[in-house]
Chains A and B, each alone.
Chain A
Amino acid sequence: MDRLIIVLLDGIAFASWLFLVAVGLTFAFGVLRILNIAHGSIYAIGAYLGATLAGAVVRADVNPYLTYPALLVAAVVVGAVVGPALEVAFLRRVYQQEEVVTLLLTFSIFLVLEDVMKLVWGVSPIIVAEPYGLLGQLRLAGVTYPVFSFLLTAIAAAAGAGLWTMVNCTRFGKLLVAVAADREISAALGVNVPRMYTIAFTIAAMFAALGGAFTAPMVSVVPGLSADAIVLAFAVTVIGGLGNVPGAALGALLVGVLRATAIQWAPALELFVIYALMVAILLVRPEGLFGGIQLRRI
């Protein structure tokens, strides 16, 4: 019984992290119809700035709890600066092009940002461990869990609920849905489509940066962070259905629990099960669990 509880707790913790990384990716696809490979880079920049600001708080020897607002500030700043910059400078020029063009463009941005991060932060790991242990620990099912991982779950839940509410219960959300459904008709009805795109991409970037910033206290912030995140995020969004936020949540949960199960009872399959699940779901439902079949103009 204890092992089942452990699997559930570990699965939810990993799913929370996965969801934070994947939700912006799927949201950007839902509205802008782009698969943004540079999403992983924004996540990594969030981690770097989060580690830098939280590290500054630690070194300043002030109240260590200020590291949490520092992580939040890092996420907002990265999202608010990098998001609009990428959308306005690059992405809006290729919305009318074929998907492969946006893929190549975002992959190029991903590669450039990898090197930009090395230029700015160097190649040595940045270590800011303090916020991870600061909130204390809980003893559950014979295992010690840091309260930080529950905080991450709360942030992921709040982010998902907030995004869902915004899309489904606000005027802005209805406009987003309209723009996502038909860009031309929306523009003809007076919606400022380019502005909606910029805002939507900024929101997606902010989620990526939020995931990165709150991952920084758990991991070593080093070059290569982006690639690992984006590969898993793709798996989750594909499982859930590209462009679908509840789908990303379910995809993250399935991957998280399945991976935790493998680690407890079949550790050699830890990585295999994630992609086996993806393949199985794609075979049965190529559009993903929550994805809808869409007509395509040719």
Chain B
Amino acid sequence: MFRTAAHTGIDGIGAARYVLGLKPGVKTVAGLNQDYAWGRDSWDIFEKAIRKLKPDVKVLEPLWPKLMQGQFASEISKLQADKPDLIFTSVWGGDFVSLIQQARPRGLFEQSLVVINNDGANVEDFGKQMPDGIALGFRGPHWLDIPDPATTPLQKAFIDGYRARHKKYPMPHGSYHVVQALQGVKAAYEKAMKDKGGAWPTVDDVVKAFAYSKFDTPSGLISMAIGGGHQAVEEAVYGLTKMNAQTGFAGLTQVKVFPVECVNPPDGVKVADWIEKGFPGAKCP
């Protein structure tokens, strides 16, 4: 089993680092996450990270809406009444859309800084209805200009090809991660064949070639650096939404790209342990 995209750890750690850079004086934090493994894990990592990075922060009791319930009116009222400085959420897909649709007219994004840890799939679909000032995070360097298509030929080819076929931009992170998987397998087979002098490799040969490999993708060079060489690491990207009149949908401002060593634990170290010990070995700008 190989995973050619980064794991959940970088979403929560990246979110905590980004919001504290943006709002160092943050005092109260609330959470709104879907009540299943992804929501629980996302909140757990973010809460641990922000408590470690800013021990005096007050964390309010988190909200746990059902997955894809789509109705957030009561949760928004609670958040408006509590008035936290910061709201962390890991909602995605339909819930991401519903939450923004319902919170926008109620002024939640003006009241608190809302950070969404890992979804940009519907940003283009939202068009001009996407509010400014949401901190949006992506698992990996995937955005219209990250990495810069002018200097990354694969990124340019991917965006152009995707737009020609689907009439829209490839939004993070699903489309990029599928390509990463294909590129990773392709690179592993090529390496395994090369090692065998051009003969078709066995599965074991490919597994051996895949572990700790590096391969080129539209997101730049991906490294299978942790999890015994079976788990990729990526940079975490965060930025604030800002309407872009040119494209007709929200772009990002105050973008921060956190290097791999800043948000990923070293090989063999669990995320929770890394945070608990104070991120030993982390290299952040």
Contacts and interface: CB of A to CB of B under 8 A. Distances in A.
Interface stretch (A7-15, A81-89, A245-253): A7-15
Interface stretch (B16-24, B101-109, B150-158, B263-271): B101-109
Interface stretch (A164-172, A174-182, A220-228): A220-228
Given A6-B81, A271-B35, A263 B74 contact: yes
Nearest to A267: B63
A145 interface: yes
A2 B125 contact: no
A185 to B, nearest CB: 43
Given A10-B77, A142-B80, A219 B104 contact: no
Interface string A260-283: 100110011011000000000000
Contacts of A124: 125
Q: Which of A125, A132, A264 has the most CB of B within 10 A?
A: A125
Contacts of B101: 127, 129, 132, 217-220
Interface in B47-73: 61-66, 68-71, 73
Contact of A218 (B71, B75, B78, B127): B71
A65 to B, nearest CB: 15
Contacts of A143: 77, 80-81, 106
Interface in A1-38: 2-3, 6, 9-11, 13-14, 17
Contact of A228 (B63, B70, B96, B129): B70
Given A125-B93, A217-B101, A219-B98, A10 B74 contact: yes
A227 to B, nearest CB: 9
Given A146-B106, A219-B70, A220-B70, A9 B129 contact: no
Interface in B90-144: 93-98, 100-102, 104-107, 122, 125-127, 129
Nearest to A262: B74
Of listed B62, B73, B74, residue having the most chain A CB within 10 A: B74
Interface hub of A11, A127, A137 (most chain B Cβ within 10 A)? A127
Interface in B195-252: none
A99 B62 CA distance: 43
A9 B81 CA distance: 13
A264 B73 CA distance: 12
B122 A127 contact: yes
A50 to B, nearest CB: 14
A220 B75 contact: no
A219 B94 contact: yes
B97 A127 contact: yes
Given A132-B101, A260-B74, A228 B69 contact: yes
- If over half of B's interface residues share one DSSP class (helix, strand or loop), that class is named, otherwise mixed; here it is helix
Contact size range, B: 35 or more
A267 B93 contact: no
B63 A132 contact: no
Nearest to B106: A144
B93 A222 contact: yes
Contacts of B74: 10-11, 14, 259-260, 263-264
A10 B75 CA distance: 9
A230 to B, nearest CB: 13
B249 to A, nearest CB: 11
A144 B77 CA distance: 8
A144 B80 contact: yes
A130 interface: yes
B169 to A, nearest CB: 13
A222 B71 CA distance: 14
A209 to B, nearest CB: 17
B22 to A, nearest CB: 24
A292 interface: no
B108 to A, nearest CB: 8
A147 to B, nearest CB: 9
A162 interface: no
A23 to B, nearest CB: 17
Nearest to B166: A124
B65 to A, nearest CB: 7
Contacts of B69: 228
* Most chain B beta carbons < 10 A, residue from A130, A215, A222: A222
B105 A146 contact: yes
The 8 lowest CB-CB distance pairs between A and B, nearest first, are A133-B105, A220-B97, A220-B94, A219-B70, A10-B74, A222-B94, A219-B98, A129-B129
24 contacts: A6-B78, A10-B74, A124-B125, A125-B122, A125-B125, A127-B122, A129-B100, A129-B101, A129-B129, A130-B129, A133-B105, A142-B80, A144-B106, A145-B106, A219-B70, A219-B94, A219-B97, A219-B101, A220-B94, A220-B95, A259-B74, A260-B77, A264-B74, A267-B63
Interface of A: 2-3, 6, 9-11, 13-14, 17, 124-125, 127, 129-130, 132-133, 137, 141-146, 148-149, 215, 217-220, 222, 224-225, 228, 259-260, 263-264, 267-268, 270-271
